[in-house]
Structure 1
């Protein structure tokens, strides 16, 4: 390319994309490279906080990191990368406003993340909601609170039961956490609704496998099941959803659960828009084939100028602990891969060799509602309130930037004394509803009257007669007033 300054294009502003750009700003010398990050959203979402956002324990805005505030030396473009022609090192960028255009680069970093993976089950696409974005978490919270408002006005019966029934599909960490957090939220809400009782609320988790939370030991997962059962929640193992039409969730066991809130957390897949829209090599599960040094390619072949990290990539797990030999798609790997990727990219620009990514999983920690959590690291397992503190401590420190950390910690501190924020803002989805209801509108045009029929001239004088008499009556009235 004619430009002497290398252009680095980062596709996606999630975990891996944000951290790559953040660390490149630290490692690159002034004028050494020009970095551009492309994402339709102006923020990075800290996804481990989504269950707590859904439960009203964390303010939604505190769970995201503004790209423009924290990436001072990076060009932030609000757009999608809809095509990658790496053979010519050109990407097609489709902005949120305006026409698509081509962007030339020297190095491309694909960190487009993952989206919810669903199956062609009737009704799921139309009636369920995922838990991958901050918008989904907020919608789940407001939906549950709105359903409580509606149910409180109804007599006991099928419709009220449906409004107060929550179904979560998927027993991994995300599913269990949002399931337990919403159970905790519902328990708090019942105290504010004298018309409702705890027994009126129903929570069901559907898991196709014979156990939940494969990231922890079987003993720990069984403790979680017992804890959920004590809190009035039902877990259906070895069960699949076969339909979700008309507010009825049909299960492979033959059971039907009426519900107005279906949350889908049964797996993720690499962002198909980016993966299918490019010419980079893809493995059988739809992820970009990535080497251990985070360059795109295989062990024997390198795709020069292309890098990948996070959920969109298939990075070999050199510790031997990964599923199928690859790093599992979680935040722990995405952040650490991004930090190394930034160092490796700078090293390659300077003619040095990159290092391979090796990270042994530190363990898993999950929050299960206020004062309840689990922690697993090797054979060490913690349960209850001490694990809950470990969960908040770990994620509080892992949140990028001190500015974000303080906002989250301050929110937790306030909630400790004031209780969780239970304000329902579901009408934010339609913010103009009050304005539209009372706004003055132009009157519709009145129909034009047809001209009088000339064949009936006698009718006209009869209509005008009162008008001719009116002035005489007014004059007579005036004379009476003067005489008095």
Structure 2
């Protein structure tokens, strides 16, 4: 009697866009006992990053921009652990849990969807004082931090300290930086109605960008429009300017400008997950896994697949102009790649032909604060309220699960009717800091963002 074929072991590294959507599609389409799916991620949830600026500004409840993996992937195995090594020869993935235990997980099919991490440059003081915006923890921290600066500034009589507390610096003029700046400045301005000793012009918001323009994802005229609108709001915009140092909150720019800032937000680029450097997989110059148009890893076709921010997948929509073009690291491609990737894995398991990924960029939308935005979609540009509404409509439509869509919509309705909350909850990071003195000391520590 012939032995029964064992189910294939599909292991998905990463629970972000690619990991979540790939696993969702696989659990829906896999036949009974055809394969098992294991998703590995250090967080028990997927974060919808386009909504992080709104979560930081209090327009959306932070929990609502996350998708719980175990609840959503109810037919998959979810391991909350960090990938530390990939052994392609032995077909083994090594993971480490928060408690320190180390496990080896075998696979027959591997999906590399580890995404990207914030890229840190060797700028003095950046590692100690810079705050990113790629995780829900950073979004919550930024909200509490900005509001706590208002609280502290309203309670001090020292002019220099007050000036530093009310100076906010964003380094990086891409979507993440501009949206974070627009949303947080809008939130802080709205909160000032409750601070009788602080005026709007007491705050100083600064955007620093090394390139000659901001928002490279949209046409140049919209970038110019955005700079004009930011400056009309009193926001200082430095183009073709580098941050040379941010030690002890003292910002030094390449054009000679110097000032003190108690808030340094760093959004100047990302880099592929560093785990890939020692995985033994082919990497490009940007340390991304090299894959073909079907998202099969070079040299490991049919076994290892890669997509998303950590993968160099050919952009076939640009092959006529640039044969070497790869898909940019954004959610638009990641979500669509996941669908094709899941179908290709199923085709490979069933000895069928795989399909190349092809998607022509439809454009981009960005929020600049409440009722303000820019859009460049299907070669049509939009500004102001209409662009802001398009931003919200597009992203709530793309938000995974009906549950989260409804929660976000009701949150918008609630904040629209009742106004957003402007209370700082800095103590949640250190709940044991019970007395006011401990909390005050905690606020002043420069390493608070790392906790």
- Normalised to the residue count of structure 1, the TM-score between the two structures is 0.87
Question: Which residue of 2 is the match for residue 287 of structure 1?
Answer: 288
Question: Which residue of 1 is the match for residue 103 of structure 2?
Answer: 101
Cα RMSD between the aligned structures?
Answer: 1.7
For the pair shown, the structure with the greater C-alpha radius of gyration is 1
Q: Deviations over 1:325-372 (max 9, x none)?
A: 010000111111011101110010000011000001111000110000
Question: Which residue of 1 is the match for residue 347 of structure 2?
Answer: 347
Q: CA deviation at 1:218?
A: 1.1
CA distance in 1, matches of 2:401, 2:126: 37
Question: Which residue of 1 is the match for residue 362 of structure 2?
Answer: 362
Question: Which residue of 2 is the match for residue 402 of structure 1?
Answer: 402
Question: Which residue of 2 is the match for residue 371 of structure 1?
Answer: 371
CA distance in 1, matches of 2:437, 2:363: 53
Aligned residues: 433
Q: Which runs of 5+ in 2 are unaligned?
A: 439-451
Question: Which residue of 2 is the match for residue 82 of structure 1?
Answer: 84
Match of 1:234 among 229, 233, 236: 236
Question: Which residue of 1 is the match for residue 187 of structure 2?
Answer: 185
1:112 aligns with 2:114: yes
Q: Secondary structure at the match of 1:387?
A: helix
Q: Secondary structure at the match of 2:105?
A: strand
Question: Which residue of 1 is the match for residue 135 of structure 2?
Answer: 133
Q: Deviations over 1:144-182 (max 9, x none)?
A: 000100000122611101101110000001111001111
Question: Which residue of 1 is the match for residue 382 of structure 2?
Answer: 382
Would you say the 8 A contact 2:249–2:264 is kept in 1?
A: no
Structure 1 residues 230 and 435, CA, compared in 2 at 3 Å: closer, same or farther?
closer
Question: Which residue of 2 is the match for residue 215 of structure 1?
Answer: 217
Q: CA deviation at 1:204?
A: 0.3
Q: Secondary structure at the match of 1:284?
A: coil
Question: Which residue of 1 is the match for residue 65 of structure 2?
Answer: 63
Q: Secondary structure at the match of 1:191?
A: helix
CA distance in 2, matches of 1:347, 1:314: 22
Q: Secondary structure at the match of 2:205?
A: strand
CA distance in 2, matches of 1:219, 1:40: 40
Q: CA deviation at 1:7?
A: 0.2
CA distance in 1, matches of 2:95, 2:176: 32
Q: Which runs of 5+ in 1 are unaligned?
A: 439-484
Structure 1 residues 304 and 193, CA, compared in 2 at 3 Å: closer, same or farther?
same
Would you say the 8 A contact 2:252–2:258 is kept in 1?
A: yes
Question: Which residue of 1 is the match for residue 446 of structure 2?
Answer: none
**Where do residues 147-226 of structure 1 align in structure 2 (5 Å cutoff)?**
147-155=149-157, 157-226=159-228
Q: CA deviation at 1:248?
A: 0.5
CA distance in 1, matches of 2:32, 2:437: 56
Q: CA deviation at 1:284?
A: 1.2
Q: Secondary structure at the match of 1:36?
A: strand
Q: Deviations over 1:45-88 (max 9, x none)?
A: 00000111111111100010000110011000011111111111
Structure 1 residues 435 and 24, CA, compared in 2 at 3 Å: closer, same or farther?
farther
CA distance in 2, matches of 1:48, 1:343: 26
Would you say the 8 A contact 1:82–1:277 is kept in 2?
A: no
Query: Which region of structure 1 is more displaced relative to structure 2, 156-165 or 342-351?
Result: 156-165
1:423 aligns with 2:427: no
1:318 aligns with 2:316: yes
Q: Secondary structure at the match of 1:406?
A: helix
Q: CA deviation at 1:426?
A: 1.1
CA distance in 1, matches of 2:184, 2:214: 17
Question: Which residue of 1 is the match for residue 391 of structure 2?
Answer: 391
Q: CA deviation at 1:302?
A: 4.7
